[in-house]
Amino acid sequence: MTSVGGCTGFWIIVLMTLHGANLGETHKYFRNEPDVPFPPALPTAHNLDAICLQGQGRPRYPDSFFPHSGNSHFRRRGNAINLLESWYSMCCFGQVARSNQILCCAEQAWKQALSQFCVDEYSTMTLPYECCEGTPDARWTCFNSELPNPNYDASPGYTAPVVPGQPGFTFNPNACLRLLEDDTEC
């Protein structure tokens, strides 16, 4: 004969086990998890002004932003955003001589920063970010979907800390000329 208390205890253990089990969830968020909105949107004519003029109002992710251990996937995302914002500044204010090339430069910076992010993802022993898999065209389509901030809106009341410019980006103006030539053939 089974006592009522024994059955109750059994069901409590079953429910606790099921509650703690990961039943197919791909993302499990915790309260102390860093908030790193990712991925950044592809630069377009629609969001380029915000990219260039509101850059200091978008978050940066210095090492002090992250807990001392764990969360390495968030740290890689934050590093990619820092890199991209640095390169956007080069496109908007420094490296590009002609204003009609700023969008092309920003697109190149976006692709190079996310390519570097994928290289960093594959250098770890964890599963890479899902958009890093597949062909380059599929990669860009994936990165430009389900965007947390497609318009590059600034965070109210936020001013980004000064982050030094980061090397590694080389703007190729000839790629822009090819794009312009393709557009005029239509």
What Rg, from alpha-carbon coordinates, does the chain have?
22
pTM of the model: 0.76
- Which pLDDT tens digit goes with each residue over 34-64? 788 899 999 999 999 999 999 999 999 888 8
Neighbour-count burial of 2, counting CB atoms closer than 10 A to its CB (0-12 exposed, 13-18 middle, 19+ buried): exposed
> Which residue would you say has higher pLDDT here, 28 or 76?
76
Any idea which of 19-33, 90-104, 118-132 has the lowest mean pLDDT? 19-33
Residue 153, CA distances (Å) to 35, 53, 149 in order: 16, 10, 7
d(CA 183, CA 186): 6
- Which pLDDT tens digit goes with each residue over 6-22? 555 554 554 444 444 33
Reference 135, options 163, 115, 113; nearest CA is 115
Quick one: pLDDT band at residue 115, thresholds 50, 70, 90? very high
User: For position 112, what pLDDT does the model report?
Assistant: 96
- Which pLDDT tens digit goes with each residue over 129-172? 999 998 989 999 999 998 999 999 999 999 998 777 889 998 99
